[in-house]
Amino acid sequence: LSVEDRLGLVSFVIDGEPHIIVKEKFCKDCELKVCLKVCPAKLYEEENGKINFNYEGCLECGTCRIACGKLEWNYPRGGFGVNYQFG
């Protein structure tokens, strides 16, 4: 299976509370915007200079946390988040 095929097998239990908070006050002056490049699930998008983030598909890899350093990043609450058991 390709990586994309494997990711298609991953399931999620969506929490109503985002576990990662993007802080716009830092994003607007950020020149690198590494979040757009590093997320393997491509959950960060830029639109008119603003970063949009969709936490529901997060793989909990932690890459954006390390690459950015300005995110409020937590694992989802217990019982929520990614489920790899079928992937």
> Measured from the CB of residue 75, what is the shortest distance to ligand SF4 in angstroms?
9
Question: Of the two residues 28 and 40, which places its CB atom closer to ligand SF4 in the complex?
Answer: 40
Which residues contribute to the site for ligand SF4 (CB under 6 A)? 20, 38-41, 43, 58-64
How far apart (Å, rounded) are the C-alpha atoms in residues 76 and 17? 8
Question: Of the two residues 28 and 42, which places its CB atom closer to ligand SF4 in the complex?
Answer: 42
Question: Of the two residues 15 and 38, which places its CB atom closer to ligand SF4 in the complex?
Answer: 38
Maximum Cα–Cα distance across the chain: 40
How far apart (Å, rounded) are the C-alpha atoms in residues 20 and 15? 11
What's phi and psi for 45, nearest 5 deg?
Answer: -135, 150
Contact predicate 72/21, CB 8 Å? yes
> Measured from the CB of residue 34, what is the shortest distance to ligand SF4 in angstroms?
10
> Measured from the CB of residue 69, what is the shortest distance to ligand SF4 in angstroms?
12
